[in-house]
Amino acid sequence: MTRRMVSISVLLVGTLAMALLGIAQQSATEAPAGFDTPTLAQNPGSQSKSNGIAEPPGDTYALDQQSFEQIHDVNSGLGPVYNGRACAECHQNPVSGAASQFTELRVGHRDANGNFVNPTVPINGGANSIAGRSIINDRAVVPEAQEHIPATENIRALRAALNTLGDGFVEAIDDQTLLAIAQNQVEVSEGRIHGEAVRVPVLEAPGQTRVGRFGWKDQHSSLLSFVADAYLNEMGVTNRLRPKDTTTIGKVTPDPEDLPDTLGLADIDHFAQFIRGTKVPPRDSVLAATPAALAGQALFERLRCNVCHVASILTAPAGTTINGGTFAVPEALGSKIIHPYSDFLLHDIETGDGIVQGGPPDTANKLRTAALWGLRVRPRFMHDLQSLSLENAIDRHEGEAEHSSRRFRELTSAEKQQLFAFLNSL
């Protein structure tokens, strides 16, 4: 089956699933693409262009981006432990909201039964501790709060900060579409490839779950949940969905620290609105049209890389209620064809980090398929950024991807260069 056939199959199966659910179909159009959220020290957001998403009353896209780029300090809730002082510090290559060169630390250990356990991290000379999460923050507002990896935690991993451009469209993918992709993989690979969809809580809809799609472990299914969790764990800013800090050592502000502005919108609302308004990462259309890139695309399909790195996905129609009934897909995001080159499912390709985060125990060594859109602006690859070439990144694919990586090694040097030309056009 060719990439085109697989892509059409996924689209048709997803569309049929939505139709069976009674969701009215609309004519699909391509999602707008562009690196159109430049990071500016002066007048942030003033040159940015959204995907056309409607803004809440009184809000503007420039204001959303300004919130995304706002530098925090202890007086605005930073810390006590944190990794960055602004969202854009970790999501800014080449524009605000994109991928990062930064990695974060994740650790843990297994109990006597082999189950993953989050660490308990002593701080303040052992007088206090931080528990219940796998992340180890690199920075702290006072020396007493600084985290260090305990010797007991022998599961240790690095994870890159992910691209968020186009994630509004990812949020708008219907659960049934992702489940159809997973089933399609089993069928076209004779069971060798079997992406796992995990249902995770929607923080803004207590008691409700949805298929996860954000984070390396698919630990979040909604953008509001994702940004609220990151605001606490990456910046130490408490908010209505994550209202309690991990420690009080060095803390000078009361919880929650993220309060509504004069528009009635908290920072997390602006963050979610900014990401939902971003365009998808664009392709290099000139390179994509070259004979080398076209031949490389055919090789990508022949190697069956497209079974997991799915080329085309259709979002749910505008008006579809998602996120536990708290959000309706807007016109700007509904019935859009996106080309993420990902299935947003969890797979074991033998690069897993051993950490369980939101999913069942079997997800310990699984990671979300890396989305390849925007690949050409990244100098390092894979979830840990430890691959410094595309060849090494592909070589590291084993497990479910073993057949594809083996076929890649059998390519001639010229064929490999064609494949790289295609990947560098993404």
Q: According to DSSP H, which parts of 236-322 are helical?
A: 267-276, 285-288, 291-302
Closest by CA to 181, choosing from 29, 314, 350, is 314
Distance from C-alpha of 44 to C-alpha of 68, rounded to nearest angstrom = 10
Maximum pairwise Cα distance, the chain:
64
End-to-end alpha carbon distance in the chain: 22
In the three-class reduction of DSSP (H, G, I as helix; E, B as strand; rest coil), residue 109 is classed as strand
Residue 73 · residue 85 · CB < 8 Å: yes
Residue 275 · residue 227 · CB < 8 Å: yes
Q: According to DSSP H, which parts of 204-343 are helical?
A: 223-235, 267-276, 285-288, 291-302
pLDDT value of position 173: 98
pTM: 0.93
Cβ neighbors of 28 (< 8 A, separation 6 or more) are 314, 335, 336, 337
Count of C-beta atoms within a 10 Å radius of residue 334: 20
Q: Which residue pairs from 62-65 have beta carbons closer than 8 angstroms and sit at least 24 positions apart in sequence? A: 63/270, 64/270, 64/271, 64/273, 64/274, 64/277, 65/37, 65/96, 65/274
Distance from C-alpha of 81 to C-alpha of 249, rounded to nearest angstrom = 9
Please, is 408 exposed, middle or buried when counting C-beta atoms within 10 Å of its C-beta (0-12, 13-18, 19+)? buried
Which residue stretches of the chain have pLDDT < 70?
1-26
Q: How many CA atoms does the CB half-sphere of 146 hold within 13 Å? A: 7
Please, is 20 exposed, middle or buried when counting C-beta atoms within 10 Å of its C-beta (0-12, 13-18, 19+)? exposed
pLDDT value of position 13: 41
- Please report, for the chain, the start and end positions of each structural domain, with discontinuous segments joined by +: 3-95+161-423
Q: Are strands 29-30 and 336-338 parallel, antiparallel or unpaired?
A: parallel
Cβ neighbors of 281 (< 8 A, separation 6 or more) are 33, 35, 98, 163, 165, 166, 373, 374, 377, 426
Angle at CA of residue 127, ends 123 and 128, nearest 5°: 55
pLDDT value of position 205: 98
pLDDT value of position 7: 45
CA dihedral for 329, 334, 340, 342, sign (positive or negative): positive
| CA-to-CA dists, residue 30 to 33, 273, 290, angstroms | 9, 20, 22
Distance from C-alpha of 404 to C-alpha of 415, rounded to nearest angstrom = 14
Distance from C-alpha of 165 to C-alpha of 99, rounded to nearest angstrom = 8
Question: CA torsion angle for 328, 332, 336, 338 (degrees, to 10)?
Answer: -110
Structure tokens at 111: 């109990």
pLDDT value of position 15: 41
Structure tokens at 383: 């979830």
Cβ neighbors of 98 (< 8 A, separation 6 or more) are 35, 91, 92, 163, 164, 165, 281, 374, 377
DSSP 281: P
